[in-house]
Every structure is written in structure tokens, then in C-alpha cells.
């Protein structure tokens, strides 16, 4: 798994109060109720293993879905009911277009830390931008902001 992806997963998990541990080739995210294990199986495919209440489910997912699935697991109420949003992964350009924002506005918004737009919820966490589609069409993403 490439370092950039590991760092983004680490920050994303940290934001939602998960501990992150590296175990050999696995990235293990834990909190008081579940364990999420991520391992790269093939290029751009990740094996995601989730343990909750002594139940375990393993799924193979493309890298582009990783934050969408993690976000849903971090916020879920049932054990394994997860539906992926059908749209593409959110990026800054889409965010600005959907919310009718300029990239200059986005830079100024860093001071706010988090906000809800008309549709896209965003949050700055350290030097990362978390984007979530409130209408569940686009896939969640976390981006490095330099």
C-alpha cells in the first residue's frame, strides 16, 4: 500500500477516534467496538476485514472506495449493512463546482475547520480536507491540502 494512502487512512481514522497500528502488511484501525483491518491484495485492490462483536466480514474493494466504506463503517448503526454511493470520488474541483465556490474561497475556509455546504460537507483536519456528499451520491474522500 503506498505511503500517501496509508497517511490519508491514518488521518481519516484519527479524526474519527480510531487507533491505527501497522502490523506487517496490514493497517489496523481499532476503537472500543470494532477492528478494521486493511491489506493490499492486488494493485489498487484492498482487502478490508471488519470485526465487530466477534463477527467478521471480509471484502475486496478498489482503492477509490476505501474512504467511502470507512466513513460508512465509522458512522453505521447496523453490523454490516453498507451501501456504496454510486457517483465518482469527490475531489476539490467537483466540490467547488457543486457548491459554486472558488478555490480562493476554499483557502479562506480553512480557518473555519468545518462546515456544511448546500450538499457537500467539508472539514479540514490538520492539513487534510474531508469531503462527504450529504445526499449520498458522490463517494467520500480525504485530500492532502498543501
- 128-133, strands of its sheet edge to edge: 114-116, 120-125, 128-133, 141-144
Distance CA 116, CA 101 (A): 13
Tell me which residue range forms the domain holding 10: 3-75
Q: How many domains does the chain have?
A: 2
**Domain-embedded: residue 80:** no
User: Domain with 29 in it: what CATH number?
Assistant: 3.30.457
Helix, strand, coil fractions of the chain, as percent rounded to 5: 25, 40, 35
pTM to 2 decimal places? 0.82
- pLDDT computed for residue 53 by the predictor: 56
**Domain-embedded: residue 49:** yes
- pLDDT computed for residue 81 by the predictor: 66
Average pLDDT of the residues in 39-48: 72
Domain endpoint, select from 48, 75, 102: 75
pLDDT greater than 70 at residue 83: yes
- pLDDT computed for residue 52 by the predictor: 57
User: CB–CB of 88/104 below 8 Å?
Assistant: no
**Domain-embedded: residue 87:** no
**Domain-embedded: residue 83:** no
Domain endpoint, select from 15, 42, 75: 75
Both 49 and 109 in a single domain?
Answer: no
84-127 pLDDT, tens per residue?
788 999 999 998 898 888 878 777 777 776 676 678 998 889 88
pLDDT greater than 90 at residue 146: no
Both 71 and 104 in a single domain?
Answer: no
Nearest Cα neighbor of 120 from 130, 128, 107 is 130
**Domain-embedded: residue 140:** yes
- pLDDT computed for residue 132 by the predictor: 93
- pLDDT computed for residue 11 by the predictor: 95
Amino acid at each position: 500500500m503506498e505511503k500517501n494512502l496509508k497517511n490519508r487512512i491514518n488521518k481519516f481514522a484519527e479524526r474519527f477516534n480510531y487507533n491505527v497500528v501497522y502490523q506487517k502488511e496490514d493497517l489496523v484501525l481499532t476503537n472500543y467496538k470494532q477492528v478494521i483491518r486493511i491489506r493490499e491484495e492486488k494493485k489498487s485492490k484492498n482487502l478490508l476485514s471488519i470485526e465487530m462483536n466477534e463477527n467478521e466480514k471480509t471484502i475486496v474493494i478498489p482503492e477509490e472506495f476505501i474512504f467511502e466504506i470507512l466513513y460508512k463503517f465509522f458512522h453505521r448503526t447496523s453490523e454490516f449493512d453498507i451501501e456504496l454511493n454510486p457517483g465518482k470520488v469527490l475531489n476539490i474541483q467537483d466540490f467547488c463546482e457543486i457548491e459554486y465556490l472558488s478555490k480562493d474561497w476554499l483557502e479562506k475556509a480553512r480557518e473555519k475547520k468545518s462546515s456544511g455546504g448546500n450538499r457537500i460537507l467539508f472539514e479540514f483536519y490538520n492539513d487534510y480536507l474531508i469531503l462527504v456528499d450529504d445526499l449520498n451520491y458522490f463517494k467520500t474522500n480525504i485530500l492532502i491540502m498543501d
